[in-house]
A and B are shown apart, each in its own frame.
Chain A
Amino acid sequence: MNESCYLDGQASLEGLTVLAGRARRLILEMTHRAGMGHTGGSLSEVELLVALYFGGMRSIDPSRPDRPDRDRFILSKGHATPGYYSVLALRGYFSPELLETFDELGTPLQAHPDMHKLPGVDMSSGSLGQGLSCGIGMAMAAMADPSLGSFRTFVLMGDGELQEGQVWEAAGYAGALRLPGIVAIVDCNAVQLSTATGPFQAPDAVAARFRAFGWDASGVDGHDLAALMPAIASARERAGRGPVVLVATTVKGKGVSFMEGRCEWHGKAPDDGELARALAELGS
């Protein structure tokens, strides 16, 4: 089950696709077992996380999760832990069996990521809007301390999350400084908790808003691994010159027909029947 030994950031496109499929199954099984969890936004971020953890991020090492020069990652959309934990497990940060404890009392797999309970989590999160600022602080640290090796910081946000004002405090701050080292990724899945997202959360609008704040913005299909791998590599490289945002067009609930694009599945777990139908759709 643990692919990290032979993949280790060198996965083929075929291998990445297999990993994404496994992550989706793990997400569904995890939320089903726990009877809770943010299924929709976890399914929309799968390829983004696979691309980051299997090639996009540099110097990450599951056996040394606190390696000082590693690229950092912040799940600013902190509720989407089923997707995050699935990919961390596949990458070898912990045994996939631990996923069975998700959200149970005493588990390191808290409903929202806790950096002190789970090695590999670079920043605790859960209150929307804070991750970009934290990531900017990490990028400033990379600039101020050369011994950290000019690492990059990737921050994954939801499109709904961009309604939080702090995101734009952070965007304005980094943009005005032309701060290098920070890559924001927006999971534009078009659906938030209770409704479709608004016009300013649409991918083109998101890119335009970030550009107005001085960011280098580009768009990508967030489920197309063939496009994502070079897009992340390019963003990582361009981030040496200033802040970069990758606006990823995605589908909430991606891969399960009755979950796709439906806000009902923002924070809901599948029951027995729904799990069986979902897994059948995903295939093996």
Chain B
Amino acid sequence: MSAGVAQRAAFGRALVELAERYPKMVVLDPDVCPSTQTSLFRAAYPDRFYPMGIAEANAVCVAAGLASCGFVPWVSAFAVFLATRAADQVRVSVAHARQPVKLNGAYGGLPSGRGGATHSAVEDIAVMRTMPNMIVLTPADAAEAGAMVELAMETSAPVYLRTMRCELPDLFGVGWRPDIGRAVELAPGDDVAILSEGMMSARALEAAAILRRDGIAARVLHFGTIKPFDAEAVAKAARECGALVSVENHSRIGGLGSAVCEAAAESDPAVVVRLGFPDCFLESGDDERIFSRYGLDPAGIAAGAREALRRNGSDVSIRRAT
């Protein structure tokens, strides 16, 4: 896996590429366009680009008003400010009013350019997935981020697309077209299942390679959609593997791990180890050091999988030997 394109760049390019096909698409920018790369759209389609100033609440409701008159507005801003500062505006004027507003939550999770506690969006998935009518997408790489911009344009539902600031390894090639609501199996296996979202899925694959060296076959399921949630993929993994580990660039409260537990508990209860950020605010510092501190690197994910196996009573080495 080579280091690929940053999702923000893929997002910005996808907007430009889709602009001709969707003449009612417009972009609203709460003064972060160089950061979220909607500056590409500004350069290409200045008449369809609205600088909104540093006012996310106003931007979200203006988008709802535009949408009610036939436009399809993207509001691209830092995830933390869209999902928490403008949460009520998203809830009432977008989700409740069922307006086709598309939200790009840029700088999802930890990688915020070392912004620390205030800029790390580790609650956004939890907030967005509780909103009725909202689709929540967590692409794994640049190609999937670009493809999901197109998927967002094809649905009349409100969409929250969570993109990463940092460059990410390529998992899916150009032309990849995911299905909304469907988890993707990245690696087969039935000893343990690693269920991951967004940028964690590349790490989950690396963790599966580590486990394979020890004779453990780990299934890797990428959840590029958090809502609607592929509960059936969880139930199947629970039945077939018995031990699950969820991995998310998000708080362990309310995100993918919670969705996995909810789905498993209501179908095929299984041991679940949830990897993610604990109930604390993050700090400034190097992203990878912080990810590693919380076990969100390949070694940490592999350790989480072993913990799930141990708690499930699986003695994989013995089973493999016999």
Contact = CB atoms under 8 A, between A and B. Distances in A.
Interface of A: 68, 114-116, 122-127, 129-131, 133-142, 144-145, 148, 153, 165-166, 169-170, 172-173, 176
A141 B71 contact: yes
- Contact size range, B: 20 to 34
A135 B92 contact: no
Contact of B64 (A137, A144, A145): A137
Given A136-B62, A142-B69, A144-B71, 6 more contacts: A115-B97, A127-B92, A130-B89, A137-B66, A137-B73, A141-B71
B88 A170 contact: no
Interface string B208-232: 0000000000000000000000000
Nearest to B98: A116
Contacts of B26: 144
A141 B65 contact: yes
B77 to A, nearest CB: 14
B65 A138 contact: yes
B64 A166 contact: no
Contacts of A141: 65-66, 68-71
Contacts of B70: 68, 141, 145, 148
A126 B92 CA distance: 8
Interface in B26-65: 26, 47-48, 50, 52-53, 55, 57-58, 60-65
A148 B58 CA distance: 23
A134 B61 contact: yes
Contacts of A127: 88-89, 91-93
Nearest to B23: A145
B53 A137 contact: no
Contact of B92 (A130, A138, A165): A130
Contacts of B53: 169, 172-173, 176
Contacts of A114: 96
Nearest to B69: A141
B57 A135 contact: no
Nearest to A78: B92
* Most A Cβ at <10 Å: residue of B63, B67, B69: B69
A115 B64 CA distance: 13
Nearest to A155: B65
Q: Which 7 A-B pairs have the closest CB atoms?
A: A137-B65, A133-B61, A141-B69, A169-B58, A137-B62, A169-B55, A134-B65
Nearest to B47: A144
Nearest to B56: A169
A139 B68 CA distance: 11
Nearest to A138: B65
A125 to B, nearest CB: 7
A131 B57 CA distance: 11
A144 B70 CA distance: 11
A72 to B, nearest CB: 8
A8 B150 CA distance: 45
B66 A133 contact: no
A131 B58 CA distance: 10
Given A127-B88, A173-B58, A133 B69 contact: no
Contacts of A135: 65
B55 A134 contact: no
Given A122-B68, A137-B67, A148-B69, A173 B92 contact: no
A138 B62 CA distance: 8
Given A144-B71, A173-B58, A123 B66 contact: no
A170 B58 contact: yes
Nearest to B91: A127
B97 A124 contact: yes
9 contacts: A116-B97, A130-B88, A133-B62, A137-B65, A140-B65, A144-B71, A148-B70, A166-B57, A172-B53
Contacts of A131: 61
A166 to B, nearest CB: 5
Interface string B80-106: 000000001101110011100000000
B65 A123 contact: yes
Nearest to A182: B65
Contacts of A130: 57, 61, 88-89, 92-93
B93 A166 contact: no
A140 B93 contact: no
A131 B64 CA distance: 10
B92 A125 contact: yes
A246 to B, nearest CB: 19
Contact of B66 (A115, A138, A173): A138
Contact of B58 (A139, A144, A153, A166): A166
B57 A123 contact: no
Contact of B69 (A138, A165, A169): A138
Contact of A166 (B50, B73, B89): B89
Contact of A124 (B69, B71, B92): B92
A140 B48 CA distance: 11
A134 B68 contact: yes
Given A122-B68, A123-B97, A140-B66, A133 B58 contact: yes
A173 B60 CA distance: 13
Nearest to B60: A133
Nearest to B54: A169
A162 to B, nearest CB: 15
A123 B65 CA distance: 8
A138 B97 CA distance: 14
A170 B57 CA distance: 9
